[in-house]
Amino acid sequence: MPVLETKDLTYQYGIGTPFQKTAVEKVSISIRKGEFLGVIGHTGSGKSTLIQMLNGLIRPTGGQVLLDGKDIWAEPKKIRDVRFRVGMVFQYPEYQLFEETVWKDIMFGPKNMGLSENEAKERAMEAAHFTGLKEELLEKSPFELSGGEKRRAAIAGVIAMDPDVLILDEPTAGLDPRGRDVLLAQITQYHKARGNTVLLVSHSMEDIGRTADRLLVMSGGHAVMLEETKAVFSKGEELEKLGLRVPQITKIMQELYKMGCPVDPATLTVDDAFGQLLPFFKRKEELR
Amino acid sequence: MAFLEVKQVRFSYDAQTADAREVLHGVDLEIEEGEFVALLGHNGCGKSTMAKLFNGMLLPTAGKVLVGGLDTSLEENQLPVRKQVGLVLQNPDNQLVAGIVEEDVAFGPENLGVPPVEIRRRVDEALKAVEMYEYREHAPHKLSGGQKQRVAIAGIIAMETKCIVLDEPTAMLDPKGRGEVMGTIQKLNREKGITIVLITHYMDEAVQAGRVVVMDEGDILTSGTPRQVFQQVEFLKRHSLDVPQAAELVYRLGASGVKLPEIPLNEEECVAMLRRYLAGRAGALS
């Protein structure tokens, strides 16, 4: 059974005003338990509205969101539980830190769920470990941390609630290349260790290419593709029409494939491309 | 004399206090009028501090910053310096102040005391330059990120500054928005001769500049054309910087004994080079 499912999910802003606009229209998708799903789409494609509906932050104006088969709005009073189970890390989450110490900030979520001080502490410890926060930082004020550390503390706060589904909206925006690589590795590691479902929203096709199992492509409020990452990235021309593109390495491999090189045109990482090209080029080198 | 001159500049946040933290350790840099310079470096290397020193928002703790020969640390130079160097920041939502696009663009020149007729001309021209003229009567908060950044850039153009410093202007934008902003920056540099200093983490943006300056730990490590700088793949990686995937691939093939002539800067160059190699030629780019 899928962990999350949407049926004709629709959201209209400003109903009954001159500014009425359909942000998401009749989206029916099914998210598999334990998958790493990438979500792409240009600004205004409806992806932010969609993910906010997935964790019950906004209520659909039409259709349903099913979590483990149950409509999350069947009992509106229990919507808080949905938000604990579908954890959301917003863009620039470090702006939401507010507690006196990093510890307290990370424990805020678990305590709100009704866990005891000790349980919350345990969860916070584990979450800090997943995001690579050193123990000595936990006693500090969040405002004393560097930008990258703050980002980790904010993500740890959501992970500490141990959600079944973790949604991250542009978690690497504004980080430098190393910070980005480390954070992506930690998220991948977390996904493997916990086996829960992760949704990663990103504008970086390179980041998506090396992490996601499947990709959801949003455009004009519709879900236009939901397929294996390789399958989506082999449709370069369609993506370009949607204001998106394929990772640079994929583009290169597609061109080489067209020239008759024995390579996979849907290669997603430099490692993979290197592994395929090296034997081929070595043979060429020997023939010289 | 260069347009921007940074001479032996040191800078500390909270100078004079026990928490003083020096982030620039004696930087020297000259930028000529009309240049397009990309400034690279990992978070915390001091590049955003440099951006704020260029227009006098921050003043050096030691050393001097000269803009068109004017020392930014002298109070009487403050306004003349800001008339010459405009700053565009990462988050477009923090930079737009008015409820209508053209009013927002007019905000800068109004503050400079430019006469109304002249403001009208400048606003129209600036909006045309960033291709946002049709949106002049729209509300800024309803625009896309790329459009908002272009409006922010128009606000600087309307002040007729000679130089625009952009601190990660595309960090929050989607690929289309990034393309729009980069197109605008290129055009302003080429057609209007505006000096550009672009701070970025995106190597595919840095390769579009005329010169790349790499910073680390509050110092300048290296400076050169994109082609010169991006040949040094190992060096860049050691300083937490990235290279485009095309460069990484060719670098690794080269390190494993495949004789490719140089590191390509983008996918087109990479494909052309590999094609020539496979056709049995040496594969040099030009």
What ipTM was estimated for this complex? 0.82
Same domain, B162 and B272: no
Mean pLDDT of A25-52: 94
Residue A14 has what pLDDT?
Answer: 85
pLDDT given at position B283: 45
Predicted pLDDT at A201: 95
- Domain stop point among B226, B253, B272: B226
The proportion of chain A whose per-residue pLDDT surpasses 70, expressed as a percent, equals 100
Read off the CATH number of the domain in which B155 is found.
3.40.50.300
What does the block give as tokens for B264? 């390509």
At residue B20, the pLDDT reads 81
* Whether residue B153 sits in one domain with residue B15: yes
Structure tokens at B127: 């909006």
10 Å CB burial of residue A122 (0-12, 13-18, 19+) is middle
Which residues of chain B have a CB within 8 Å of the CB of A176? 41-43, 201, 240-241
CA dist B73 and A282 (Å) reads 59
Nearest to A174 among B168, B248, B252 (CB): B168
pLDDT of amino acid B284 = 46
Q: Which residue of A has its CA nearest to B204?
A: A248
pLDDT at A288 over 70: no
pLDDT of residue A89: 93
Chain A residues close to B177, C-beta within 8 Å: 42-43
What average pLDDT is seen over chain B? 90
Q: Is residue B101 part of a domain?
A: yes
Whole-number Å distance between alpha carbons of A180 and A185: 9
Q: Can you give the pLDDT at residue A232?
A: 96
Q: How far apart are CA B273 and CA A61, in angstroms?
A: 53
Considering the domain architecture, whether residues B213 and B254 belong to the same structural domain is answered as: no
Q: Provide the domain limits for residue B258.
A: 244-286
Residue B24 lies in a domain: yes
> For residues A118, A123, A128 and A130, what is the CA-based torsion angle, rounded to 10 degrees?
150
Last residue of a domain, one of B226, B253, B277: B226
Residues of chain B with C-beta less than 8 angstroms from the C-beta of A146: 43-44
Grade residue B94 by pLDDT with cuts at 50, 70 and 90: confident
Q: Which residue from A minimizes the CA distance to B241?
A: A177
Residue B106 is assigned to a structural domain of this protein: yes
**Domain match, B201 and B283 both:** no
Same domain for B133 and B39 = yes
Q: What DSSP string runs through chain A?
A: --SEEEEEEEEEESTTSTT-EEEEEEE--EE-TT-EEEEE--TTSSHHHHHHHHTTSS--SEEEEEETTEETTSSGGGHHHHHHHEEEE-SSGGGG--SSSHHHHHHHHHHHTT--HHHHHHHHHHHHHHTT--GGGTTS-GGGS-HHHHHHHHHHHHHTT--SEEEEESTTTT--HHHHHHHHHHHHHHHHHH--EEEEE-S-HHHHHHH-SEEEEEETTEEEEEEEHHHHHT-HHHHHHTT----HHHHHHHHHHHTT-S--TT--SHHHHHHHHHHHHHHHHHH-
* Number of independent structural domains in chain B: 2
Place B281 in a pLDDT band, splitting at 50, 70 and 90: low
Q: Does B43 touch chain A (CB under 8 A)?
A: yes
B236: in domain? no
Please state the rounded mean pLDDT for residues B258-284.
83
Structural domain contains residue B23:
yes
Q: Hey, are the CB atoms on A255 and B257 less than 8 Å from each other?
A: no
Residue B234: inside a domain:
no
Q: Is residue B231 part of a domain?
A: no
Considering the domain architecture, whether residues B254 and B167 belong to the same structural domain is answered as no
Task: Name every chain A residue with its beta carbon within 8 A of the beta carbon of B277.
Answer: 281, 284
- The tens digit of pLDDT for each residue in B186-227 reads 999 999 999 999 999 888 899 999 999 999 989 999 999 999
How much is the average pLDDT of B250-273?
A: 91
Nearest CA in chain B to A172: B171
As a whole number, mean pLDDT of residues B143-169 equals 90
Q: What is the mean pLDDT of chain A?
A: 92
Confidence check: pLDDT of B286 > 70: no
One domain, residues B136 and B186: yes
pLDDT for residue B89: 85
Same domain for B16 and B157? yes
Q: Which of A143, A178, A268 to mutate to test the interface with B (most CBs of B within 10 A)?
A: A178
- With cut-offs at 50, 70 and 90, classify the pLDDT of residue B244: confident
Better-predicted residue by pLDDT, B253 or B280: B253
- Looking at the structure, tell me whether residues B10 and B124 fall in a common domain: yes
Inter-chain contact A249–B249, Cβ cutoff 8 Å?
yes
Q: Are residues B195 and B261 in the same domain?
A: no
User: Do B278 and A261 make contact, defined as CB atoms within 8 angstroms?
Assistant: yes
A228 DSSP β-pair partners: A214
Specify whether B153 is located in the same domain as B281: no
Partners of residue A285 in chain B, C-beta under 8 Å: 257-259
- Whether the pLDDT of residue B45 is over 50: the answer is yes
A251 pLDDT tier (thresholds 50, 70, 90): very high
Domains in chain A (CATH in brackets) are: 4-246 (3.40.50.300), 247-288 (no CATH)
Distance set, CA B92 to CA B47, B163, B177 (Å)? 19, 19, 12
Q: How many CA atoms lie within 13 A of B264 on its CB side?
A: 24
CB contacts, 8 Å: B248 with chain A: 270
Query: Residues of A with CB below 8 A from B266's CB?
Result: 248
**What are the tens digits of pLDDT across the range B96-119?**
888 999 999 999 999 888 999 999
Mean pLDDT (whole number) for A74-96: 90
pLDDT of res. B14: 82
Q: Which residues pair with B165 in a beta bridge?
A: B87, B197
- In one-letter notation, the amino acid at residue A276 is Q
List pLDDT tens digits, range A175-208: 888 888 889 999 999 999 999 999 999 988 999 9
Judge: B277–A284 Cβ closer than 8 Å, yes or no.
yes
Are B276 and B213 part of one and the same domain? no
Q: Smallest Cβ distance to A203: which of B175, B248, B278?
A: B175
B127 occurs within a structural domain: yes
Distance from CA of B171 to the nearest CA of A (A): 6
